[in-house]
Amino acid sequence: MIILVTASEEHDRAFRQMAGGIMQSVISVREVGSAGLAINEHRPQVVVCDTETRSAGSWHDLLQVDDRRAGFALIVVSRLADDALWAEVLNRGGFDVLSIPFRREEVERVIASALRHACSA
């Protein structure tokens, strides 16, 4: 299962379209606070968080959910996906970064890798 945190319906639609072949179960939430509740309830393997959530909180907060006993791989999504963001995500315990606009091959590769990682953890 994947939880997608994005305020953008366009990002939601595009991600579902591209990740659907890998993972049928995608739960979308619009705010980081709602994501924390969904993570604790559903125990996803992967959480994908847009940097543009337009709500209180950010992807940083998701790394604190349930003291990380939830065991999910966090993927950060950003229009400004650069080396600095990628390094920050990895250094803080996240899994990877996806850039917007989404590219199907990249989404499939990163999600498949995150699922393998989550299953082995």
- CATH of residue 61: 3.40.50.2300
Model pLDDT for residues 15-74, shown as the tens digit of each residue? 988 887 776 688 999 998 888 889 989 999 999 999 987 677 889 999 887 555 668 999
The alpha carbons of the chain give a radius of gyration, in whole angstroms, of 13
Under a CB-based contact definition with an 8 Å cutoff, are residues 93 and 121 in contact? Answer: no
What average pLDDT does this structure show over 75-103? 93
Domain holding 29, by residue range, is 2-120
* Cross-strand pairs, 77: 50, 98
Domain count for the chain: 1
Determine phi and psi for 7, rounding to 5 degrees: -85, -10
Contact partners, residue 14, CB within 8 Å, separation at least 6: 101, 102
CA distances from 10 to 14, 15, 18 (A): 6, 9, 12
pLDDT tens, 97-106? Answer: 999 999 999 9
Q: What is the pLDDT of residue 66?
A: 57
Q: Whole-prediction pTM value?
A: 0.90
Decide if pLDDT at 76 tops 80: yes
HSE at residue 78, side-chain half, CA atoms within 13 A, is 16
User: What is the Cα–Cα distance from 8 to 11, expressed in whole angstroms?
Assistant: 5
pLDDT of 79 > 70? The answer is yes
Given pLDDT bands bounded at 50, 70 and 90, which one contains residue 10? very high
